[in-house]
Structures are given as structure tokens and as C-alpha cells.
Amino acid sequence: MNSVLLIFALITFASFAGFCFTFWRAGYWSKLLVKLNIMEEHTEINDAINSWRTCLEQLDIQADVVFLGDSITRNGDFHAFFPDKRICNLGCAGDSILNIADRVSMIPTVRPRTLIVMAGINTLASRTLKQSLAHYERLLDDLSKKQPCKQIIILSVLPVSANSKFCNNKKIIAFNEGIKKMAEARKYTYVDLFSQYAQDGSLPTTYTEDGLHLKSDCYEIWAKAVAEYVNCDITQSQASF
């Protein structure tokens, strides 16, 4: 009987040890600690980012405006609204705030006059409001240190549909209030796109196919909101680098 218990205990211990090892090797421990807000979250700049940056450097181009963000930015054909401007769209699907911060080093490769940033929805969907704001603070710190734009425009996160399971609009509104204060503290221009898209506090179904991403013709609202910054001539930097 004792032998059976010993074998059972050894099997249980081995199974538990194997589970812990797999959990650790897969990086789940660090993810759990981040979720519990015990450990600060970090990302790694991967080969795709380095390759993208190298490609832009070798093209040796100069953009008037860079749009930086996630898939919502990527899906916008901004050149159609500003055909006389050299537009560089650095939107990347699925990017979190920290992912976008990792790509700040791409911006100087195209030497833009104006940078327009929208970031946050993917982080808000999986992180707390406090964590999301902390990540955005790091993004703005990186922008202040690593890029030479004369004009930085910070956009609010857009609303989602009323029945969206991706995120909720109350959280987005609170996040936008936080990043507005951060932008103003750095003397960056903040543009509230949320209120320009929201109807009854959410993204109208006529503006979206999935409750999150905009239909192509709905980018006109966005373009009109930033037109004065895209087209104006800035002679003085808005921030000290």
C-alpha cells in the first residue's frame, strides 16, 4: 500500500513539475505576473520590425506626414484625402501600445514633418485601464526622445459599437481622458475623434462591419479632423527633444 502511495506521489510530483516547466518555458509565468500587475510588461523588437526599418532607410524618402497606429490606422487610405502630401502609413494590425512604441524608431527613417498617432484599443481589450495608461506614458516618452517631428498629433481612441465584446466605451472614454492630459502636459496637440464618431456614446453600425474597424468611406471624418495639421506649415517644434 505504501509503495502504491509512493508511486502515486512520484507521478503527481513529476506531472506537476512538468506542468510548471512547460508553463515557465511558454512564458506564461511572466504573462500571469503582468496580468496581476506585479511585473512590468516588456516587448522585444523582432526581425520584422528591424527589416521594416531597414527597408525604409534604404528607400531614402521624406514624408510630410506619418500615421502611426494599429489596424484601424493601417486600413485608412489617407493619401486619397491628401493627394498632394507624401503620406507614410505605419499602421500595423494587432499592435498593442508597446508594439507601437517599439516601432517609434522607424519614424526618423522617413523624416516627417508631422506625426499623427492613434494607439490603445488592442491594449485596452486585454489590460486594465491603469496598465494601458502606463503603457501610453512609455509610448509618449519614446516619442519625445527618439523622433524629430516638428508636430505631434495625438488622437483619441475611437468608440466601439454598443454591443462590442472587444472593449467597452466607458473604459475607452476614461483612457482618452488620461492620454489627453499626457499629451497636453507635453504640449502635443490632442484631437478628440471619439466624439466625432460616437452617436449615443458608441460607434454607429453604419460606420463599421465588425463593431471595431471603420468602413473605408468613414475615414473622411478622421481626415477632416486632422486636415488643418496636415496642411499647415509648422515653423517651431511643439516639444523639446
Instruction: Tell me the β-bridge partners of 87.
Output: 65
Chain centre distance of CA 52: 17
Residue type at position 92: C
At residue 52 the predicted structure's pLDDT band, cuts being 50, 70 and 90, is confident
Q: What is the mean pLDDT of the chain?
A: 85
At residue 236 the predicted structure's pLDDT band, cuts being 50, 70 and 90, is very low
pLDDT exceeds 50 at position 89: yes
pLDDT exceeds 70 at position 217: yes
- Mean pLDDT value of segment 162-168: 94
Coil/strand/helix, residue 90: strand
b/e string for 125-137 if b means 16 or more Cβ within 10 A? bebeeebbbbbbe
Amino acid 186: pLDDT: 94
Report pTM: 0.80
Give the cell for residue 70: 494599429
pLDDT exceeds 60 at position 1: no
Which residues 6+ apart lie within 8 Å of 150 measured at CB? 113, 114, 234, 235, 236, 237, 238
